[in-house]
Amino acid sequence: MREVILNSYREAIRDRVLLVVLAFGVAMIFSSLIIGPLTLGEEIRLAKDIGLGSILFFGLLIILFIGNRVLYRELNEKTCYLILTRPITRFQFIAGKAIGLFLTILVTSLILGIIFISYISLLTGSLQITAFLAVIGVIFQLTMLVGIVILAATFLNPFLGSLFTIFVYIFGQMIPRAILLAKFYKHLAIARILSIFHYIFPDLTYLDFRELLIYNNPIPLERILFGFSYAICYSLVMVLVAGLIFERKDL
Amino acid sequence: MKLVELRNITKTYRIIFGKKVEALRGITLVVGKGEAVALVGPNGAGKTTAIKIILGLLNPDCGKISIFGQDPNSDIRKRIGYLPENPTFYRFLTGRENLLFLTRMVDPDIPIKRIDEMLRLVGLYGAKDRPVRGYSRGMVQRLGIAQAIIHNPDLLILDEPLSGLDPIGRKEIRSILLNMKKEGKTIFFSTHILPDVTPLADRVIVINKGRIVSDLPVAKIGDIEDHLIQILR
């Protein structure tokens, strides 16, 4: 499986799309230098908001552009024939692809994250530990999306896979707020139905520390631990389901 | 000893609007140890489907498969060398990197020396550091042969092994396969190129419309082309 992981990572890292996305990500982090003066004293808050949002957004773009093609290329160009006829199970193949994509996301997010933390630390004059934790939170959010994109790639083409991932991402963001609204307006049946969806779709809000970072509030340890464990379990389940689907697929 | 055994294998492809195509209709075939067996037949006869089922790339609708007396999805794959029809490699990797990547899945400690040896054998040593995207069709086929035999497998399953090669390439690859046959390796291959059947195969299985219509030793066939035309008429 090690070979599949390394090859998947190598393939993604050599993709030119990655460089373009990274360049735009860096430009976005520094864009607050231009927009900042317009906010009348809120430059640092704006820099934190745009910076963290950029890491998530560009990570999502990498997942959509590269992640969706990682498996599709193998199936479409039939390179997987030479791999799956060697002593490697289909599940190991899928897991290898997922880990390779995760490594790509980890490396690119860390590059953007280090630039972001350095920039914020320069602006505030002190090292921002909360910014570091917020970046880790974004990486874990992206990990869940890696699981979803790999699952989508087992039964959808890249275009539909991208739509599926975007839909899951948006729905996952909306559900917790929708449950609160349903409870507020006493629509308990709707709230119950939404709660079922809450188990299926990823709740990225557990790992969204942006507000805490912007308003300089500490991130509670239990929230960090719960968020990280949730992301790991959710991603593992997605990869497991993807493996089960791929196991039965005719190649 | 039976190395490959298919019993009553049926495979149906479902096309859109509920349409079905029966690719294999209850085929039974056996390949013994040390045999070289050719699977021949017209386009769409079911040759590639049969090979994919043997390797576990396709799931049959019904029937039994065993390779080395075991399930095809087990660790016995270490003992199999496979060349798909029109093999494809990672275009961003060089020929050498592709071969190293594929071989390390079977033998993680394979020395680079062995990789270079194999590239020399198939005539690709001079192009070893070029990305595969710059390879011609024949060069890709040679690399395909190299990845199939590099780990010295006991069973070779080759789908159209000599297609895409120029006459010299065909002669060289045929000679490599003949050497493997002499070493006692079992070879099961499908082909369209009938002149390649006689020097390589001990037995010829003819498949048509998903059914095996003939299974005879080469010695009993005489002219293979006449034999095929006679059966398929």
Q: Which residue of B has its CA nearest to A6?
A: B101
pLDDT of residue B28: 93
Position A250 confidence tier, pLDDT thresholds 50, 70, 90: confident
* Contact (CB<8Å) B77/A86: yes
β-sheet bridge partners, residue B10: B25, B62
* Phi, psi angle pair for A240, to nearest 5°: -65, -45
The SS3 assignment for B198 reads helix
φ/ψ of residue B152, rounded to 5: 50, 60
pLDDT at B164: 81
Q: Which amino acid is at A88?
A: I
CA nearest neighbour of B38 among B230, B228, B175: B228
pLDDT value of residue A164: 93
Chain A closest-CA separation from residue B126 CA (Å): 23
What's the pLDDT score for residue B110?
A: 87
Which residue, among B13, B57, B97, would best test binding to A if mutated, counting the most A CBs under 10 Å from its CB?
B57
**Nearest to B227, CA basis, from B84, B27, B40, B88:** B40
The per-residue DSSP string of A190-232 comes to HHHHHHHHHHHS--GGGG--HHHHHTTPPPPHHHHHHHHHHHH
Q: Does residue B63 carry a pLDDT above 90?
A: yes
Those residues with Cβ within 8 angstroms of residue B74's Cβ, 6 or more apart along the chain or in another chain: none
- Rounded CA-CA distance B126/B153 in Å is 25
Q: Note the Cα A191 to chain centre separation in Å.
A: 27
- The DSSP line for chain A is -HHHHHHHHHHHHT-HHHHHHHHHHHHHHHTHHHHGGGGSS-HHHHHHHHHHHHHHHHHHHHIIIIIHHHHHHHHHS-THHHHHTSS--HHHHHHHHHHHHHHHHHHHHHHHHHHHHHHHHHHHTS--HHHHHHHHHHHHHHHHHHHHHHHHHTTS-HHHHHHHHHHHHHHHHHHHHHHHHHHHTT-HHHHHHHHHHHHHS--GGGG--HHHHHTTPPPPHHHHHHHHHHHHHHHHHHHHHHHHHHHT---
Per-residue pLDDT of A144-167, as tens digits, reads 999 999 999 999 998 999 999 999
Is the predicted pLDDT of residue A205 greater than 90, yes or no? no
Name the average pLDDT for chain B. 89
Query: Which stretch of DSSP H or E encloses residue B23?
Result: strand B20-32
| pLDDT attached to residue B24 | 92
Q: Is the pLDDT of residue A40 over 80?
A: no
Are B116 and B158 in contact by the 8 Å Cβ rule? The answer is no
Q: Is the pLDDT of residue B72 over 80?
A: no
Which domain range does residue A79 map to? 2-248
Residue linked to tokens 């991208």 = A162
ipTM for the whole complex: 0.88
Contacts of A85 in chain B (CB under 8 A): 55-57, 77, 80, 82
Contact criterion met (CB < 8 Å) for B88 and A83: no
Segment of A28-32, B12-16, B132-136 carrying the highest mean pLDDT: B132-136
Contact A175, A137 (CB under 8 A): no
Q: Is it the case that residue B225 has pLDDT exceeding 90?
A: no
Partners of residue A79 in chain B, C-beta under 8 Å: 88-90
A88 → chain B, closest CA residue: B105
* CA count, 13 A, side-chain hemisphere, B63: 24
Spatial CA neighbour of A101 closest among A20, A6, A168, A207: A6
Specify the pLDDT at position A138: 94
The answer to whether the beta carbons of residues B37 and B31 sit under 8 Å apart is yes
Q: Which of residues 56-115 of A touch B (CB under 8 A)?
A: 77-79, 81-89
3-state SS class at B109: coil
Query: Does B55 sit within 8 Å of A3, measured CB to CB?
Result: no
Q: Tokens standing for B160?
A: 């159209």
Per the CB < 8 A criterion, the answer to whether B192 and B42 are in contact is: no
Closest residue on chain B to A11 (Cα): B92
Residue A243 to chain B, least CA–CA distance (Å): 15
Domain count of the fold of chain B: 1
pLDDT of residue A98: 94
Contacts of B66 (CB under 8 A, 6+ apart): B2, B4, B5, B72
The answer to whether the Cβ–Cβ distance between A79 and B89 falls below 8 Å is yes
* Interface contact B56-A85, CB threshold 8 A: yes
Which of A39-43, A74-78, A94-98, B190-194 comes out lowest in average pLDDT?
A39-43
pLDDT of B82 reads: 95
Both tokens of B15, joined, read 């096309």
Query: Distance (Å, rounded) from C-alpha B122 to C-alpha B213?
Result: 35
Contacts of B57 in chain A (CB under 8 A): 81, 84-85, 250-251
Per-residue pLDDT reduced to its tens digit, A54-109: 999 999 999 998 888 888 888 888 899 999 999 999 999 999 999 999 999 999 99
For residue A55, CA distances in Å to A64, A108, A203, A218 come to 14, 9, 18, 20
In angstroms, the CA B78 to CA B152 distance is 9
Looking at the complex, does the CB of residue B92 fall below 8 Å from at least one CB of chain A?
yes
The reply to whether A11 touches chain B by the CB within 8 Å rule is: yes
Kindly list the residues from chain A whose CB atom is less than 8 angstroms away from the CB atom of residue B84.
78, 81-82
Buried b (16+ CB within 10 A) or exposed e, A142-161: bbbbbbbbbbbbbebebeeb
Taking CA–CA distances from A248, the nearest residue in chain B reads B59
Could you tell me which chain B residue has the CA closest to the CA of A8?
B90
Q: Is the pLDDT of residue A211 over 90?
A: no
Question: With pLDDT > 70 as the criterion, what percentage of chain A qualifies?
Answer: 100
**pLDDT tens, residue by residue, B24-34:** 999 999 999 99
How high is the pLDDT of residue B222?
79
Q: How many residues does chain B have?
A: 233
**Contact call for B77 and A248, based on CB within 8 A:** no
Tokens found for residue B144: 């395909």
Q: Nearest chain A residue to B54 by CA: give it.
A: A85
Question: For residues A127 and B77, which has the higher predicted lDDT (pLDDT)?
Answer: B77
Mean per-residue pLDDT, B176-189: 91
A250: closest chain B residue by CA? B58
Look at B25 and A36; give whichever has higher pLDDT: B25
Neighboring chain B residues of A70 at a CB cutoff of 8 Å: none
| Angstroms from B100 CA to nearest CA on chain A | 10
Which of A229, A230, A77, A66 shows the shortest CA–CA distance to A150?
Answer: A66
B14 touches chain A (CB under 8 A): no
pLDDT for residue A153:
92
CATH number at residue B210: 3.40.50.300
Examine the pLDDT at B233 and tell me if it is beyond 80.
no
Work out the pLDDT band at A12, boundaries 50, 70, 90.
confident
Give the gyration radius of chain B's Cα atoms.
18
Looking at the structure of chain A, the number of domains it has is: 1
CB B198 within 8 A of CB B40: no
The larger pLDDT score, comparing residue A59 to residue A12, is at A59
The parent domain of residue B225 ranges over 2-232
Q: Does position A128 have pLDDT exceeding 90, yes or no?
A: no
Q: Do A251 and B52 make contact, defined as CB atoms within 8 angstroms?
A: yes
Residue B89 in contact with residue B143, Cβ under 8 Å? yes
All residues of chain B having their beta carbon less than 8 Å from the beta carbon of residue A250 are 57-59
Q: Do A81 and B73 touch (CB under 8 A)?
A: no
